[in-house]
């Protein structure tokens, strides 16, 4: 911040500043003269050497001279500000983009095109969107105790970059918008991230993992294990007693990564079918082959796409 980016020709502004300073000197001289005259008339009116009208006029002239001095000082301040503005400095620390003007180009105070854009990169802000429906559902789950609040006053946020890699530095939630976008039905959240290496750039699309609530006993199943019946209900095929297939209608919550959070219809320890669903139906006996998988310790409610 403070680095000089452009220098506008200061000649006319310096002349205006010098003229304003001369006007200030003239106003100071007029005030000095008016004060002396008012003092003399104040003494003379006591001995009736001058009329009361003349004395009143001298007092009014003094007051006008004081007002003229104040106006002259304001004019000097304005001229100095205009002169200072001929040196365009960076208002913030960051990186400057390409310049839209070249040396010798005419610029004005009210032009629509910016000279250049300076963007702060470290720290950098990431705007997230969360549907109002998800927000309401999570709020109810927090109030009912189904979810536990995580992070206290500071909610941690992780980013997945466009190439699928995880951004190395953890950010934190800065604020949540107070209104819902009527066009999209979503709420905007803003997170702030340290960006010392400049890996994050303005305009990049990233995905955010934002843990706002947590439950320690959630049941999560892969997306591939959930199908839909003709009525649109979520169905999971489970291997029951004697290795026979059972169809369980379930209720799913939020999608986290490649898994659904199942809120109803399954119990801990149920064996679900992930592969070969098209070959099985309820009541059929199957040969079970367990897949290697590591279940997460807890499920978290996450916010989706970010920019």
Give the DSSP letter string of 224-267.
GGEEE-TT--EEEEEE-GGGBEEEEEEEEEEEETTEEEEEES--
Section 19-24 average pLDDT: 97
The encoded tokens of residue 116 equal 């250049």
Structure-token match 């803003």, residue found: 190
Q: Is the pLDDT of residue 231 over 90?
A: no
Quote the number of domains for the chain: 3
Q: Which residue has the higher pLDDT, 99 or 71?
A: 71
Whether 11 and 68 share a structural domain: yes
In a domain, 105, yes or no: no
Note whether 52 and 42 are within 8 A (CB): no
Q: Are residues 131 and 199 in the same domain?
A: yes
Residues 133 and 209 in one domain: yes
With contact defined as beta carbons under 8 Å apart, do 128 and 189 qualify? yes
In a domain, 107, yes or no: no
| Domain assignment of residue 287, given as a range | 219-296
pLDDT at 141: 64
112 in a structural domain: no
Domain of 292, CATH number, reads 2.40.420.20
User: 103 in a domain, yes or no?
Assistant: no
CA distance 149 to 208: 18
Residues paired with 219 in a beta bridge: 262
CATH number at residue 179: 2.40.30.170
Residue 102 lies in a domain: no
Q: Are residues 255 and 185 in the same domain?
A: no
Structural contact between residues 182 and 225, judged by C-beta atoms closer than 8 angstroms: no
- Residue 20 · residue 79 · CB < 8 Å: yes
Last residue within a domain, chosen from 163, 179, 213:
213
The residues with which 271 forms a beta bridge, in sequence order, are: 239
How much is the average pLDDT of 54-58? 94
pLDDT for residue 247 is more than 60: yes
Judged by average pLDDT, the poorest of 63-72, 120-129, 171-180 is 171-180
Confidence of residue 211 (pLDDT cuts 50, 70, 90): low
Does residue 286 carry a pLDDT above 50? Answer: yes
Tell me the two tokens of residue 126: 């990431």
Greater confidence (244 vs 71) lies with 71
pLDDT score for 150: 58
- pLDDT band at 153; cut points 50, 70, 90: low
- Whether residues 185 and 204 share a domain: the answer is yes
Both 128 and 182 in a single domain?
yes
8 and 66 co-located in one domain: yes
- Output the average pLDDT for the chain: 83
**Confidence at residue 297, expressed as pLDDT on a 0 to 100 scale:** 40
Between 277 and 86, the more confident residue is 86
The answer, yes or no, to whether residue 24 has pLDDT greater than 90, is yes
Identify whether 74 is part of a domain: yes
State residue 215's pLDDT score.
Answer: 64
Last residue of some domain: 162, 186, 213? 213
Residues 86 and 132 in one domain: no
User: Which CATH number fits the domain that encloses residue 49?
Assistant: 1.10.287.470
Q: Is residue 301 part of a domain?
A: no
Asked whether residue 179 falls in the same domain as residue 224, the answer is no
Q: What is the pLDDT of residue 172?
A: 86
> Is residue 94 scored above 50 in pLDDT?
yes
Asked whether residue 204 is domain-assigned, the answer is yes
Assess whether 130 and 188 both reside in one domain. yes
Identify the domain boundary among 52, 81, 96: 96
Residues 133 and 208 in one domain: yes
The segment with the largest mean pLDDT, out of 27-41, 161-175, 209-223, 236-250, is: 27-41
Let me know whether 132 and 206 are in one domain. Answer: yes
């Amino acid at each position: 911040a403070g680095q000089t980016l452009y220098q506008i020709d200061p000649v006319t502004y310096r002349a205006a500043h010098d003229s304003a300073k001369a006007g200030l000197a003239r106003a100071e001289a007029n005030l000095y003269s008016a004060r002396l005259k008012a003092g003399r008339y104040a003494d003379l009116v006591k001995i009736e050497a001058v009329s009361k009208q003349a004395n009143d006029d001298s007092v009014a002239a003094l007051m006008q001279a004081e007002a003229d001095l104040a106006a002259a000082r304001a004019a000097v301040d304005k001229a100095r500000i205009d002169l200072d503005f001929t040196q365009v400095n960076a208002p913030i620390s960051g990186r400057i983009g390409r310049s839209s003007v070249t040396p010798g180009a005419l610029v004005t105070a009210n032009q629509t095109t910016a000279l250049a854009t300076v963007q702060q990169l470290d720290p950098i802000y990431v705007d997230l969107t969360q549907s109002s429906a998800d927000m309401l559902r999570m709020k109810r789950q927090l109030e009912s105790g189904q979810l536990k609040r995580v992070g206290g006053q500071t909610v941690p946020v992780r980013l997945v970059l466009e190439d699928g890699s995880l951004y190395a530095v953890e950010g934190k939630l800065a604020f949540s918008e107070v209104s819902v976008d009527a066009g999209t039905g979503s709420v905007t959240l803003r997170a702030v991230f340290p960006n010392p290496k400049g890996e994050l750039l303005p305009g990049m699309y990233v995905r955010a993992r934002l843990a706002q609530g947590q439950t320690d006993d959630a049941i999560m199943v892969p997306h591939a294990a959930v199908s839909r019946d003709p009525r649109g209900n979520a169905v999971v095929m489970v291997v029951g007693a004697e290795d026979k297939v059972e169809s369980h209608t379930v209720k799913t919550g939020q999608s986290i990564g490649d898994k659904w959070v199942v809120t109803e219809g399954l119990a801990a320890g149920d064996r679900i079918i992930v592969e070969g669903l098209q070959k099985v139906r309820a009541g059929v006996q199957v040969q079970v082959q367990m897949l290697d998988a590591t279940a997460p310790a807890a499920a978290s409610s996450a916010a989706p796409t970010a920019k």
